[in-house]
Amino acid sequence: MHNPDVFSFRFLGVGSAQAAALGSSCGVLERAGVPLLLIDIGVGALDRYAQVYSDPPAAVFITHAHLDHIGDLEHWFYRLAFRANPGLPKLFVPAAVVPLLQRRVADFPNWVAEGGRNFWDMFQLIPVSDYFWHAGLRFAVFPVRHHAPESAFGLALRGSFLYTGDTRPIPEWLQKHAREEERIFHDCTTESNPSHTGLDDLEREYGAAVRSRLVLYHYADDEAAAAMRVLGYEVASSGAVYPLANPNEESTVEHWAAWSQS
Ligand SMILES: [Zn+2]
Ligand SMILES: [Zn+2]
């Protein structure tokens, strides 16, 4: 039996855009083993999800509009469009990413040849800004450093975890949203580049206490993972499950009322 308050995070894929064998980087927040929120849905994510869970995802957060993070949306649309009672999965999308998603995926003429369906008929699109509620939890959303400003975002559940999405180092956001004992799931491979974090960046940008809480993902290949492990870093594999501390009050209590009553 799972304890109902036990949270965990399961990686379904850990690869960079060129690392198909490692799976498109994505993962699932679970409570008592039940999937609450899938983060990103790149090519192959739905099949990997189906290998673990009996039902398709009910909620997805999208970090940004690169295809290794959204590439399965088209596939998902077609699975839903021809089902009798498809439900209405929630897509939590940072408001600034919505126009990009519209252009890259949704804006396709006549989604089904028979007509009568729009892309957004199959999903509940929920544009989000700094915070959003889902499953009784309050998630924080913040911009990261990946290509154009305000085009890629990370996600945090205070007290529990922070997921960077694709990014250069972001010490300012870790200080704001991961200053307790949160697990920090962080983009990293061996070599840094203008849109991703490399090992030398970690040493320069983060202190030892933060580095000890990092779990690295979105890397190039198994050799890169081995090179990062040799230096003492925790490196996620596809299928790895990380137990999480419980979310703190900022993630669970209705905010203003809690403060005014204390
Ligand atoms: Zn990526
Ligand atoms: Zn990207």
For residue 110, give the nearest of 89, 81, 85, 90 by alpha carbon.
81
On whether the pTM is more than 0.75, the answer is yes
Cα-to-centroid distance, 65 and ligand 2 (Å) = 7
State the residue for tokens 């009798």: 84
Summarised one tens digit per residue, pLDDT across range 219-240 is: 999 999 999 999 999 999 999 9
Taking the C-alpha atoms of residue 258 and residue 247, their distance in angstroms, rounded to an integer, is 15
Summarised one tens digit per residue, pLDDT across range 162-203 is: 999 999 999 999 999 999 999 999 999 999 999 999 999 999
CATH topology of domain 7-261: Metallo-beta-lactamase; Chain A (3.60.15)
User: Which ligand gives the minimal distance to the CA of 195?
Assistant: 2
- The first and second tokens of residue 96, run together, are 């600034």
Cα-to-centroid distance, 166 and ligand 2 (Å) = 5
User: Which ligand gives the minimal distance to the CA of 42?
Assistant: 1
CB 218 within 8 A of CB 187: yes
CB 87 within 8 A of CB 123: no
Cα-to-centroid distance, 262 and ligand 2 (Å) = 42
